[in-house]
Amino acid sequence: MKNILEAPFIKEMQSACSNMYRLGWDERNGGNISYLIPEEDVAEYLDTGKVIREIPISFYAPELIGKYFLVTGTGKYFKNVEGDPETNLGLIRIASDGRTAQLLWGYRDGGKFTSELPAHLMSHIARLSVDPNNRVIMHTHPTNTLAMTHIHSLEEKAFSRTLWGTCTECIIVFPEGVGVLPWMICGNNEIGVATAEKMKEYRIVLWAIHGIYGAGKDMDEAFGLIETVEKGADLYLRYAHFPIVNRISDKQLDELATAFGINYRKEFLDL
């Protein structure tokens, strides 16, 4: 059996966590990632019949029974994942009761998955219902995006339109726009339900004055979505207090989307 520390999915998680920490998006133990791994990939590195221990999920997820997830640990720092993945990550399988996680590897110090795992699983269910290739849910605290939620309307059309207008690539990378939730208590099922409902329409959901949930078919896509939103927010904060002389018009955004064959959310533009 192969060494799991050499598994591509472990390496991808290490790289993502390190990059997000270095960017200043995940201070202390902020942020969490869950990565859906095909059973055949797991079986190359682990005896899937050997369960280390079982951990209650506090959420019923029958749609995910038998599925495997690599998940960051609760209270763990992203900066430590690269050096000690076996303590800071865990590979779990959703048990046949749909309410229990079977730990197959990781959480070596007796820890467990992030407290926001229910929100992740709800978002996985939502995304899989519209995109069966969805595998990654990523939660992080990008600085400029959080700052933007302090000073900009949280109405989804307005927020998305502003981001689309900051630079050419935004409408191409997230043509559906961004979903936005008002500030809510984190770490409970209520915010998970609200996020999952948004995830049926958006791959990016903003938690106002808190962070972002991003989804994608792989780590690069989820990370790329978030960093593009963050770039747009950074640009917005740099010019928002100045008179705007040049701006990408709604007509130009429509022409851009047409040129790239992008099916965007047309109700977010006034044409």
Q: What are residue 93's DSSP bridge partners?
A: 68, 102
Q: Nearest-CA neighbor of 57 among 9, 102, 4?
A: 102
Other Cβ atoms closer than 10 A to 263: 9
Q: Active-site positions? A: 116
How would you class 110 by CB atoms within 10 Å of its CB: exposed for 0-12, middle for 13-18, buried for 19 or more? exposed
Sheet holding 53-56, edge to edge: 53-56, 100-106, 89-94, 68-72, 32-37, 136-140, 211-216, 204-207, 179-181
Q: Does residue 87 sit in helix, strand or coil?
A: helix
Query: Residue type at 71?
Result: V
- Amino acid at position 86, single letter: E
